[in-house]
Amino acid sequence: MPRIDKAAISRSASRSAAIAARATGDLTVRAIGLAVAANRGLRLSRRRDTALLPASSISGRALVLIIAIMAFLASLTAGTVQLVSSASTNWRSAIAREVTIQVRPQVGRDTDADVKQAAAITRASAGVDAVDVYSKAQSTQLLEPWLGQDFELTEIPIPRIIAVKVSGHPDFGTLRKTLDQIPGVSLDDHRIWTARLSTMANAMILVGLVILGLVLTASGLAVAFATRGAMAGTREIIDVLHLVGGTDRFIANQFQRHFLRLGLKGGGIGGLAAIAVFVAAGLASRQWVATPGGDQVDALFGTFSLGLGGYGAVVVIAGVVALITTVVSRLTVFRNLRGLE
Partner 1 sequence: MEIDRVLRFENVGLRYGMGPEILRDLSFVIQPHSFQFLTGPSGAGKTTLLRLILMTLKPTRGLINLFGQEVARLDKDEMTGLRRRIGVVFQDFRLLDHLTTYENVALPLRVQGKDEASYRSEVIELLRWVGLGERMHVPPTVLSGGEKQRAAIARAVMVQPDLLLADEPTGNVDPPLARRLLRLFTELHRQGTSIVLATHDFDLMDQFDARRFVLADGYLEIFS
**Quick one: 44 or 120, whose CB is closer to partner 1?**
44
Helix locations, the chain, DSSP H: 6-24, 27-36, 60-96, 111-123, 136-147, 172-179, 191-233, 235-243, 248-287, 292-301, 307-340
Closer to partner 1 by Cβ: residue 30 or 261: 30
- In the complex with partner 1, the residue whose CB is nearer, 82 or 254, is 254
Q: Smallest distance from the beta carbon of 256 to partner 1, in angstroms?
A: 15
Chain positions contacting partner 1, by CB under 8 A: 1-2, 4, 9, 12-13, 16-17, 27-32, 34-37, 39-40, 42, 44, 46-47, 49-50, 52, 54, 236-237, 239-248, 250, 341
DSSP state, 155? T
* Cβ pair 321, 269 in contact under 8 A: no
Closest CB to partner 1 among 244 and 290?
244
Minimum distance from residue 58 beta carbon to partner 1 (Å): 12
The separation between CA 79 and the C-alpha centre of its own chain, rounded to angstroms, equals 5
CB of 13 to partner 1, least distance (A): 5
Distance, CA of 250 to CA of 327 (rounded, Å): 15
What does each C-alpha distance from 204 to 152, 207, 318 come to in angstroms?
Answer: 42, 5, 22
Q: Which is nearer to partner 1, 193 or 250 (CB)?
A: 250
DSSP string covering 168-182? S---HHHHHHHHTTS
Q: Which is nearer to partner 1, 155 or 341 (CB)?
A: 341
CB of 237 to partner 1, least distance (A): 6
Are 100 and 185 in contact by the 8 Å Cβ rule? The answer is no
Least CB distance to partner 1 at residue 272 (A): 32
Distance, C-alpha 158 to centroid of its chain: 47
CB of 266 to partner 1, least distance (A): 24
What whole-number distance in Å separates Cα of residue 233 and Cα of residue 223?
A: 15
Q: How far is the CB of 277 from partner 1 (least distance, A)?
A: 39
Residue 132, helix vs strand vs coil: strand
Question: Closer to partner 1 at the Cβ: 3 or 169?
Answer: 3
* HEC profile of 181-222: CCCCEEEECCHHHHHHHHHHHHHHHHHHHHHHHHHHHHHHHH
- What's the closest the beta carbon of residue 56 comes to partner 1, in angstroms? 8
Q: Which is nearer to partner 1, 163 or 237 (CB)?
A: 237
Exposure class string for 178-206: b at 16+ Cβ within 10 A, else e: bbeebebbebebbeeeeeeeeeebeebbe
